[in-house]
């Protein structure tokens, strides 16, 4: 399935609803209602319900100590959907990168401005909040379960494209988003619910499809999953409050839901340190000796039967890391491979280097479809060629992050 949904035409609030956002001592937010403990009804272990916002805004990532505790203690993570399944085909960047070159042919970006993405921009966190939870889930070796399929969400977005007669300017979008973040940082799920109702009910049937029906389906899924695992469930905060909200629906099923007070200690708790330490995922293909370290669990597919393709995307900032594995017969040199696979733009040249482990590499800037401008490194063994790519927005392309990734990929 190729995703061709034009997110720029998505109605403002629908985009924010769907996967689409300290002092000394201890700070306590008594009114924060983002985290809820689930118990009773025969559960063997406690689970937690957390309200997220589908954005990579750094302000959202000041998680409470109680949230870190719930994450660390849970054996499974549950989200609305598996956004990582789109790694192979979904680029969240919304702006093209333009590269300039100095008088020695060395490339640099034409702008230091953060590039925009569907979930924010490059000044935010690498992943948007839900994807950060999924990244932690895999890095920590926990189980993952989605409540909806990606197709379900994309179909809903496609069905409720921006209604005729509703025009939102960039300023209106910014004001609405900032207001949502303001409510969110306070943990004010009642105001978020009112905002969702007010916006979505402008179009008959939209609130019922986007919120009410989905809440009923998600409550059923949560009911099944928490009976088996001590689970951390994160869904959009707009799904929690109200008569049709998940808190009330789960209570109707017989569960006890207790608001967990949001506390923020000056000194990091052991649970926060544990969660924060899971920052990478070790990937390998033993049959060819490939080893790589990604920020999180990549998606492994195949371009052709004999060509493994491994990709990981930081969807908040719009960065992509990928490895294509090409079998070779030794008749084409690495230099000849570079001429084939590194499509250097005008005024740029790729370079030949020998690494500390003795492997030769060719590395440089390339410009191909669909990646656009990207950094690429080629390295080969006796049997396989690795085409390693990294690309993102203005700041990413003008940083050391692509080369840092390259240094973590090779043959044993």
Domain boundaries, the chain: 7-93+117-276, 281-411
- pLDDT, residue 41, reads 96
- pLDDT, residue 19, reads 42
The first and second tokens of residue 88, run together, are: 């192979």
What is the secondary structure of 347-367 as a DSSP string? Answer: T---EEEE-TTS-EEEEEEEE
The first and second tokens of residue 112, run together, are: 């230091």
Long-range Cβ pairs for the range 91-94 (8 Å, 24+): 91/313, 91/318, 91/320, 91/370, 92/117, 92/118, 92/119, 92/313, 92/315, 92/316, 92/318, 93/117, 93/318, 93/392, 93/393, 94/8, 94/118, 94/318
Q: Which of 10-19, 311-320, 359-368, 394-403 has the highest mean pLDDT?
A: 311-320
Give per-residue pLDDT as tens, 270-302.
Answer: 999 999 999 999 999 999 999 999 999 999 998
- Asked if residue 198 has pLDDT above 90, the reply is no
Which carries the bigger pLDDT value, residue 216 or residue 166? Answer: 216
Contact (CB, 8 A) for 391 and 356: no
Give per-residue pLDDT as tens, 156-189.
Answer: 877 776 555 444 445 545 657 888 999 999 999 9
Give per-residue pLDDT as tens, 16-41.
Answer: 455 443 334 678 998 999 999 999 99
CATH architecture of 281-411: 3-Layer(aba) Sandwich (3.40)
The first and second tokens of residue 317, run together, are: 């900032």
Rama region for 408: left / alpha / beta (φ>0; ψ in -120 to 50; rest): alpha
- Asked if residue 75 has pLDDT above 90, the reply is yes
Backbone phi, then psi, for 303, in 5-degree steps? -75, -50
């Amino acid at each position: 399935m190729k995703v061709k949904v034009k997110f720029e035409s998505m109605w403002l609030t629908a985009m924010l609803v769907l996967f689409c956002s300290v002092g000394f001592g201890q700070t306590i937010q008594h009114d924060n209602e983002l985290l809820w403990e689930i118990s009773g009804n025969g559960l063997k272990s406690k689970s937690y319900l957390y309200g997220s916002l589908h954005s990579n805004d750094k302000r959202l990532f000041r998680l409470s100590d109680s949230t870190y505790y719930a994450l660390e203690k849970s054996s499974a993570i549950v989200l609305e959907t598996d956004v990582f399944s789109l790694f192979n085909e979904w680029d969240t960047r919304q702006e093209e990168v333009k590269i300039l070159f100095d008088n020695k042919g060395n490339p640099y970006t034409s702008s230091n401005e953060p590039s925009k993405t569907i979930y924010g921009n490059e000044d935010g966190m690498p992943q948007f909040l839900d994807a950060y939870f999924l990244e932690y889930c895999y890095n920590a070796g926990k189980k993952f379960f989605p409540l909806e399929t990606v197709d379900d969400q994309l179909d809903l977005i496609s069905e409720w494209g921006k209604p005729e007669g509703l025009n939102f300017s960039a300023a209106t979008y910014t004001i609405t988003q900032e207001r949502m973040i303001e409510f969110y940082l306070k943990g004010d799920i009642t105001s978020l619910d009112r905002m969702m109702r007010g916006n979505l009910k402008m179009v008959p049937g939209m609130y019922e499809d986007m919120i009410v029906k989905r809440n009923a389906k998600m409550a059923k899924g949560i009911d099944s999953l928490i009976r088996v695992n001590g689970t951390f469930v994160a869904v959009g905060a707009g799904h929690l409050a109200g008569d049709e909200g998940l808190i009330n629906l789960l209570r109707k099923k017989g569960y006890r839901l207790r608001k967990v007070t949001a506390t923020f200690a000056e000194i990091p708790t052991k649970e926060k340190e544990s969660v924060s330490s899971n920052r990478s995922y070790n990937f390998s293909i033993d049959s060819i000796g490939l080893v790589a370290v990604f920020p999180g669990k990549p998606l492994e597919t195949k371009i052709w039967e004999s060509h493994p393709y491994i990709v990981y995307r930081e969807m908040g900032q719009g960065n992509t890391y990928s490895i294509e594995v090409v079998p070779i017969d030794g008749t084409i040199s690495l230099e000849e491979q570079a001429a084939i696979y590194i499509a250097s733009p005008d005024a740029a040249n790729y370079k030949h280097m020998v690494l500390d482990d003795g492997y030769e590499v060719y590395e440089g800037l390339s410009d191909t479809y669909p990646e656009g401008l990207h950094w690429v490194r080629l390295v080969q063994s006796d049997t396989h060629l690795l085409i390693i790519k990294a690309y993102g927005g203005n700041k990413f392309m003008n940083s050391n992050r692509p080369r840092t990734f390259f240094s973590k990929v090779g043959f044993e």
